[in-house]
Amino acid sequence: MRFGVIGSGSWATALVKILTDNGHRVHWWVRNEASIRHIQTRHHNPQYLSSVYFDTSLLSLSSQVQNVVAASDCLVMAVPSAYTSASLEGLDRKALQGKKILSAIKGILPEHNLLLNEYLNREFDVNLADYFTIMGPCHAEEVAAEKLSYLTFSGLDEALTRELAACFATEYLNTVINGDVYGVQFAAVLKNIYALGAGIAHGLEYGDNFLSVLIANSSEEMAGFLRKVTAHPANYTASVYLGDLLVTCYSLYSRNRTFGNMIGKGYSVKAARLELNMVAEGYNASKCIYLINKEIKAEMPIAGMIYRILWENVNVTIGMKQIEPYLV
């Protein structure tokens, strides 16, 4: 199978590492020509996970997304959700026909308020049967360090999902499969929102006891939302749901936790975004989920308050105080 990777951030770089470690040739879309030259001559990404060195004989790099799409059978989408539609600009509507799409995007496209599969179906006629996801508690930095991690691959076709998962299995990465394509995507969106809340609590100097209660209740709130948006039966304590929530809320690698911590310490949203200098998916996701939940009508006091703190300028101390009565 010929793989194409769309994106050149830390997660995209980690996925290219996994594929090339397994001997797969990768067509890699890197927007910046200077970065392409650096990777070709110095064998590592100058901006992200620079400790990872590539066998460049396995890489075909291009700044033209059309070239990568045309050369690939399976496209791994690994750009921040806010930049996804811009990354695909210029593609013909039929450019993705016959391709398998593997989404590593943990967010909702904010300008459309759609999951990636919904957007690709609307704009490129991509069928859900050709769409797969790669999610789970797996930080790019730990993949770079080859620390044991797990990824969950989801798709409607179990055999093909298993085949794709096998391409990513290494000594440092175990793969799991399930069929909950919608559920795992929404779980990945929600865990980023709750990680913002965990960061806010940490910034306000709440203790570990409160944080554990907040995360436990966030897990239950997430499960309630997922039960409303997907009919697929799932074990919400599995790694792709609860596991990813826990690591995103607790890990120092978590940019969403870091962003929330800044808000808790008194940074404005604008200042926190400038200081972080990376995309915290939970920021846009909090608004997207707030709007989606107007139709779903799940009980979401935690996610709702995080939205109001970030988007409606609710005082962070008062907002967290108002969450407390909902926690059990």
- Full pLDDT tens readout for the chain, 328 residues: 999 999 999 999 999 999 999 999 999 999 999 999 999 999 999 999 999 999 999 999 999 999 999 999 999 999 999 999 999 998 999 999 999 999 999 889 999 999 999 999 999 999 999 999 999 898 899 999 999 999 999 999 999 999 999 999 999 999 999 999 999 999 999 999 999 999 999 999 999 999 999 999 999 999 999 999 998 888 999 999 999 999 999 998 899 999 999 999 999 999 998 888 777 889 999 999 999 999 999 999 999 999 999 999 999 999 999 999 999 9
Picking from 179, 209, 231, the residue at the C-terminal end of a domain is: 179
**Which run of H or E residues covers position 76?**
strand 74-77
233 and 286 share a domain? yes
Residue 60's closest CA among 32, 25, 35?
25
Q: What pLDDT, on a 0 to 100 scale, did the predictor assign at position 138? A: 87
Q: What pLDDT, on a 0 to 100 scale, did the predictor assign at position 277? A: 76
pTM for the whole structure: 0.94
Whether the Cβ atoms of residue 105 and residue 77 lie closer than 8 Å to each other: yes
175 and 270 share a domain? no
Q: What pLDDT, on a 0 to 100 scale, did the predictor assign at position 60? A: 97
Q: What pLDDT, on a 0 to 100 scale, did the predictor assign at position 232? A: 87
Q: What pLDDT, on a 0 to 100 scale, did the predictor assign at position 233? A: 84
Residue with token string 């409160």: 210
Q: Tell me, what CATH number does 30's domain have?
A: 3.40.50.720
172 and 194 share a domain? no
203 and 164 share a domain? no
Q: Tell me, what CATH number does 214's domain have?
A: 1.10.1040.10
Picking from 179, 211, 234, the residue at the C-terminal end of a domain is: 179
204 and 321 share a domain? yes
30 and 80 share a domain? yes
Picking from 179, 198, 232, the residue at the C-terminal end of a domain is: 179
74 and 210 share a domain? no
CA–CA–CA angle 109, 115, 121 (5° rounding):
105
168 and 241 share a domain? no
* Number of domains into which the chain is organized: 2
Range of the domain at 145: 3-179
Q: Which residues contact 227 (CB under 8 A, 6 or more apart)?
A: none
Residue 178's closest CA among 196, 202, 162, 199?
162
222 and 107 share a domain? no
Bridge partners of residue 30, in order along the sequence: none
Per residue in 85-110, is it b (16+ CB within 10 Å) or e — as a string?
A: bebbeeeeeebbeebbbbbbbbbbbb
Q: What pLDDT, on a 0 to 100 scale, did the predictor assign at position 231? A: 82
157 and 198 share a domain? no
231 and 260 share a domain? yes
171 and 51 share a domain? yes
Whether the Cβ atoms of residue 71 and residue 98 lie closer than 8 Å to each other: no
